[in-house]
Chain A
Amino acid sequence: MVDIISAKSLGSNDIKIEGAVGEPFCDDAKMSMRNVDVFYGDNQAIHDISFDLEKNQVTALIGPSGCGKSTFLRCLNRMNDLIPICNVKGSLQLDGEEIYGKQMDPVLLRARVGMVFQKPNPFPKSIYENVAYGPKIHGLATDKAELDEIVETSLIKAGLFNEVKDRLDSPGTGLSGGQQQRLCIARTIAVSPEVILMDEPASALDPIATAVIEELIHELKEKYTIAIVTHSMQQAARVSQKTAYFHLGQLVEMGDTKQIFTNPSHELTENYISGRFG
């Protein structure tokens, strides 16, 4: 297998991945993925991955750079549709509905499954407009006062409100990198999606802002289901209940976060979380 050969560069030449170990499935699944393959042209980025995202839980996706975490996350709300060469195979379901099925309207899907991207990407519009855009297009607010309310609470939850409350009309692109990321988080939660996908939401944040975001994630999981990609083991351990370890496009191990971090079953997982590579 090609991926095993290239894994040699990571110092894992003898270790084989034969299906995921741990407990990838659960009874109370919000989203369930079975035998998912993703191709960029001829290049396969995801190999036969199956697992569940449990309802009202935070699932952390960890793994070395380039192992396909972002690619996988983007399948969950069909953002990969925007990449013409990207091809998704297998079954992905949201509440039992096939995501790539004919019945599924991708516009509705993306309103239900929101996403915070790896790179902050605010619209070149005002801060207010950035947050208000989602509620506006989905008709979530009946009047201006209600919209103001949504914008304010979203910004407060994302820990940005105090910094920007006096300049809601200034452009979102004029904020610092970390502020932009929090603006994007506020923008995503403003439409109250059922599932929130976060791709390294705290990569550009200082410890204080990170704590705010982690607090937000705790709060959100009461109502929402969350998947978060992170490179910080500590963060994964702090915020998540479940952890999935990806390696070269394959799911190596998945299970309770505590279990994974204290007593991983697979050698690759152990190497990764103990910092031996990746």
Chain B
Amino acid sequence: MTKAVNESLPTSAVTEKIKLSLTKRHRSEMMFKSTGLAAVVLGFILVFVLLFDITSKALPAFHQHWVQLEVDFSEDNLRYSEGISLEDLRYRSTLRKAIANQFPDVKSRRDKRKLYGLYSTNAEFAIKDFLIANPNTLDTIQNIWVRVDDDVDIYLKETTSLGEPLVRVDVKEAQWIKSLVETGRIDKRFNIEFFTSSDSREPELAGVRGALTGTMLTMLVTLALSFPLGVAAALYLEEFAPKNKWTDMIEVNINNLAAVPSIIFGLLGLAVIINIFGLPRSAPLVGGIVLTLMTLPTIIIASRASIKAVPPSIREAATGLGASKIQTTFSHVLPMAMPGILTGTIIGMAQALGETAPLLMIGMVAFIVDVPASITDASTVMPVQIFLWADSPERGFLAKTSAAILVLLGFLFLMNASAAYLRRRFESK
């Protein structure tokens, strides 16, 4: 056909024909390019909107208002006498006296109770800790900074930015707060406790350290189990296993496994790992095992694809030199497949990082105040923590929820960055 066209037409006519088709080809190329660009821009805008929204909601959580109290550590106040441990003194009444001293006009019992509510429940322990840390301040008067209550905190944050706040602060309380601000007894500080303390019922005290540690431990267990297992399985299936009915069936089932809803893995973890093998409930170890089950298919599928993509000529080259199967696999095939394997691993790990449902099943949803010290301690993880806070009625948790999402995204970003770095190293080799 083409030959006939070429022969029957003079050369210039052929060029003309090509030119005609060229405009069409260029147009379709342009179309494709602009569609792609539009998709990328749209993606960027969505990510930006998401980040902007979360960040703006999260920002208040990174600051906390403190109030200064003049505490009279007199022996009288504390009911101190020789031989009584500093642990057992009357701190609550001391605190209340200090508060009442700030507002000598407040007389009625109801008003006083309201007044005490402006200060964090933690204030009592703050002054206790202060005295225990500085025993020589006994019988002196000290200025001590304590946190304000979460409602007051929000009131202060929102009056500055929005004008009329919608919080549970009535007119009287607002006046008290105002007088505190005017006398310079209120201070806004960076909320380092958000990163150094664990969950709490009180929003002004709650932090992500426990959940973040739990997430790290769980991810470590997941990575340590799923990466070697997944890569070994992929290598075996691609390089060593005979191609027959059985391996076909295994392949189909691995693909099926990748599509199983994650909560099923949680049920499996509960039924088998906790009930039969007796591993501790709520522990990162169990969470890691459950997430490994979920991540394995992703890693295996991605690894197999990238092992398959290693050119056969490389295997021939090594085999032809007398390398054994294992040597060929580990010194040539695996390094060449590594970038793809790492991509699959990071996708699987990112999925596992955001997973909530299976972890609820194995009890990682419990309210845990301690920071887990090992993979067998009870703990929770970031997504579950976010879920818990989002579900809490206190308004103070609103900003905390967004802040925790930011921390989770930051963790994800770090994970991706380290995978990208490793991939770069393997590609440059």
- Residues of chain A touching chain B, judged by Cβ–Cβ distance below 8 Å, are 77, 79, 82, 84, 107-108, 110-111, 114-115, 117, 119, 121-125, 133-134, 137-138, 184, 187-188, 191
Closest to B315 in A: A82
**Nearest CB of A to B330, in Å:** 11
**Nearest CB of A to B425, in Å:** 14
9 contacts between A and B (CB under 8 A): A82-B319, A108-B322, A110-B322, A117-B316, A123-B332, A124-B314, A124-B429, A133-B321, A184-B317
Which of B312, B314, B322, B429 contacts A107, CB < 8 Å? Answer: B322
Once A84-B243, A124-B336, A137-B327 are accepted as A-B contacts, the answer to whether A114 and B316 lie under 8 Å apart by CB is no
Once A124-B429, A125-B429, A137-B327 are accepted as A-B contacts, the answer to whether A117 and B322 lie under 8 Å apart by CB is no
B429 contacts across to A, CB distance below 8 A: 124-125
- Residues of chain B touching chain A, judged by Cβ–Cβ distance below 8 Å, are 243, 311-324, 327, 331-332, 336, 429
**Nearest CB of B to A79, in Å:** 6
* B322 touching A134, Cβ below 8 Å: yes
What is the bound-complex CA distance between A52 and B323, given in angstroms? 27
A79 contacts across to B, CB distance below 8 A: 316, 319-320
**Nearest CB of A to B428, in Å:** 9
What is the bound-complex CA distance between A107 and B311, given in angstroms? 21
Interface of B is mostly: helix
What is the bound-complex CA distance between A59 and B318, given in angstroms? 25
**Nearest CB of A to B320, in Å:** 4
* B323 touching A117, Cβ below 8 Å: no
* A137 touching B321, Cβ below 8 Å: yes
**Nearest CB of B to A147, in Å:** 15
Which of B243, B320, B323, B332 contacts A77, CB < 8 Å? Answer: B320
What is the bound-complex CA distance between A53 and B313, given in angstroms? 26
Give the most central of B311, B318, B319, B429: most A CB within 10 Å.
B319
B327 contacts across to A, CB distance below 8 A: 137
Closest to B427 in A: A124
* B318 touching A114, Cβ below 8 Å: no
**Nearest CB of A to B308, in Å:** 14
What is the bound-complex CA distance between A123 and B335, given in angstroms? 11
A191 contacts across to B, CB distance below 8 A: 321-322
Given known contacts A114-B321, A124-B429, A133-B323, what 4 new A-B pairs fall within 8 Å (CB)?
Answer: A121-B316, A123-B332, A125-B429, A191-B321
B319 contacts across to A, CB distance below 8 A: 79, 82, 110
What is the bound-complex CA distance between A84 and B320, given in angstroms? 16
A137 contacts across to B, CB distance below 8 A: 321-323, 327
Closest to A124 in B: B336
**Nearest CB of B to A183, in Å:** 11
Nearest 4 CB-CB pairings of A with B: A111-B322, A121-B313, A110-B322, A134-B321
Which of B243, B313, B318, B324 contacts A119, CB < 8 Å? Answer: B313
* B317 touching A138, Cβ below 8 Å: no
What is the bound-complex CA distance between A115 and B321, given in angstroms? 7
B331 contacts across to A, CB distance below 8 A: 133
A122 contacts across to B, CB distance below 8 A: 317
Closest to A77 in B: B320
What is the bound-complex CA distance between A184 and B317, given in angstroms? 9
**Nearest CB of B to A75, in Å:** 13
**Nearest CB of A to B180, in Å:** 69
Once A123-B332, A137-B327 are accepted as A-B contacts, the answer to whether A110 and B320 lie under 8 Å apart by CB is yes
Closest to B310 in A: A124
Closest to A116 in B: B320
What is the bound-complex CA distance between A81 and B394, given in angstroms? 69
* A110 touching B321, Cβ below 8 Å: yes
Which of A108, A124, A125, A187 contacts B321, CB < 8 Å? Answer: A187
* B323 touching A123, Cβ below 8 Å: no
B321 contacts across to A, CB distance below 8 A: 110-111, 114, 133-134, 137, 187-188, 191
Which of B317, B324, B332 contacts A117, CB < 8 Å? Answer: B317
**Nearest CB of A to B103, in Å:** 76
What is the bound-complex CA distance between A95 and B318, given in angstroms? 24
What is the bound-complex CA distance between A193 and B327, given in angstroms? 19
What is the bound-complex CA distance between A184 and B316, given in angstroms? 12
What is the bound-complex CA distance between A125 and B429, given in angstroms? 6
Closest to A171 in B: B429
A187 contacts across to B, CB distance below 8 A: 317, 321
* A121 touching B322, Cβ below 8 Å: no
What is the bound-complex CA distance between A108 and B324, given in angstroms? 9
A108 contacts across to B, CB distance below 8 A: 322
**Nearest CB of B to A167, in Å:** 16
B318 contacts across to A, CB distance below 8 A: 123, 133
Give the most central of A84, A114, A133, A184: most B CB within 10 Å.
A133
**Nearest CB of B to A64, in Å:** 24
* A117 touching B313, Cβ below 8 Å: yes
What is the bound-complex CA distance between A110 and B315, given in angstroms? 13
Once A121-B317, A123-B332 are accepted as A-B contacts, the answer to whether A82 and B312 lie under 8 Å apart by CB is yes
What is the bound-complex CA distance between A239 and B315, given in angstroms? 30
What is the bound-complex CA distance between A108 and B319, given in angstroms? 11
What is the bound-complex CA distance between A55 and B336, given in angstroms? 39
What is the bound-complex CA distance between A126 and B319, given in angstroms? 18
A117 contacts across to B, CB distance below 8 A: 313, 316-317, 320
